[in-house]
Amino acid sequence: STVVVRNQSEHSAQVQILKASADQKMGKSRVSLKDAVGHPYGSLFELINRKLILVKDESLLAEDELEVPESASTNTLLGKRTINADQPRGDNSGYVDTNTAQKLSEPDICKLKESGLSGEEIIKTLIENSDTFASKTDFAQEKWIKRKEMKYRKRMRIVKSTPQSICEASFRKNKDKICNMRYDS
């Protein structure tokens, strides 16, 4: 059957034919959609090693959140950050970007990805191995986490193909092809 696959990290959508046998191109990688067969519409999947893994935690279905370790920040969740206006935390004025704050090298990060760790676990490992993350401001931490989520945490939602969802996907992909016409016009 035909479905719309919404990529949560890239804010894009594609119309795909759900086949149990073939890999299909999703963004920059080839993905086997056979793992999505049999799951209800609206299911959220995470892409790990070119396979879709169903996200079972109900709290993550409504809002994609990433818990930050207590050593890095106090009482924080991405999107649910509690900021105390009386005590601003961190100061970014002394930072000089020399690419030495991260203890992990690029080959180490590639090994983490190849070992099958989820995007959330990779980001937590990056936070733990960062010399400067704990001293950054709340805003800088949120910005950093969002950038890393875009890179390492690939989430996709399978949506039923309706005229509205197909028009939205076409509009996101290339609005010039459909003459900038939105589904509600």
Grouped pLDDT means (10 residues each) for the chain, 185 residues: 79 80 77 84 86 73 46 40 53 71 87 85 91 86 89 87 88 86 82
Q: By three-state DSSP, how is residue 163 classified?
A: helix
Question: Is the separation of the CB atoms in 12 and 27 below 8 Å?
Answer: yes
Give residue 22's pLDDT: 75
Report DSSP letters for 12-70, one per residue: EEEEEE--SS-EEEETTEEEEGGGGTTSPTT-EEEEETTEEEE---HHHHHS---BPPT
Give residue 83's pLDDT: 47
Name the pairing type of β-strands 2-7 and 23-26.
Answer: unpaired
Q: Look up the pTM and report it.
A: 0.67
Question: Is the separation of the CB atoms in 23 and 32 below 8 Å?
Answer: yes
Give residue 67's pLDDT: 47
Question: Is the separation of the CB atoms in 168 and 13 below 8 Å?
Answer: yes
Query: Which two three-digit tokens encode residue 98?
Result: 């020399």
Give residue 124's pLDDT: 92
Give residue 87's pLDDT: 54
Counting every residue written for the chain, the total comes to 185
The CA distance from 185 to 95, in Å, is: 48
Give residue 127's pLDDT: 92
CA atoms in the 13 A half-sphere facing the CB of 120: 12
